Amino acid sequence: MSNIQNNNLILINALNEYLRTMPDQIDPKTLEEVKASGVRELYAYASLLNSYMGLDEMFIDRYLLNMLIKDDVDKYLNNPFYLKMDNLEQAASGKLKLDYSFIEQYELFAQDEIDTAIDGRIYPQIAYFDDFLKCITIYDHERILSRFNPLVVNACIVPLDEVKGKVACFGLGNGYFAYMAHLKDNVSALTIYEANNDLIELFKKGMLPKFDYPEKIKIVKADPYLFLKNKTNKLSVDYAFINCWSDYKTGVKDYHRFKKLEANRPRVKYMYYLENSILAYPKEEDNENN
Q: What is the residue range of 218's domain? A: 155-280
Q: What is the DSSP track for 93-119? A: ETTEEEEEEEE-TT--EEEEEEEE-TT
- Per the domain annotation, does 73 fall within a domain? no
- Per the domain annotation, does 138 fall within a domain? no
pLDDT digits (tens, 9 = 90+) for 101-151: 999 999 999 999 999 999 999 999 999 999 999 999 999 998 999 999 999
Distance between CA 223 and CA 229 in Å, rounded? 10
- Per the domain annotation, does 34 fall within a domain? no
Number of structural domains in the chain: 1
In three state form, how does the secondary structure of 112-174 look?
EEEEECCCCCEEEEEEECCCCEEEEEEEECCEEEEECCHHHHHHCHHHHHHCCEEEEEECCCC
Query: Residue 29: pLDDT above 60?
Result: yes
Query: Residue 243: pLDDT above 60?
Result: yes
- Per the domain annotation, does 205 fall within a domain? yes
Please state whether the predicted TM-score (pTM) of the whole model is above 0.75: yes
- Per the domain annotation, does 107 fall within a domain? no
Residue 290, pLDDT score: 43
Distance between CA 6 and CA 236 in Å, rounded? 44
Distance between CA 41 and CA 35 in Å, rounded? 6
Give the CATH number of the domain where residue 245 resides. Answer: 3.40.50.150
Distance between CA 191 and CA 181 in Å, rounded? 11
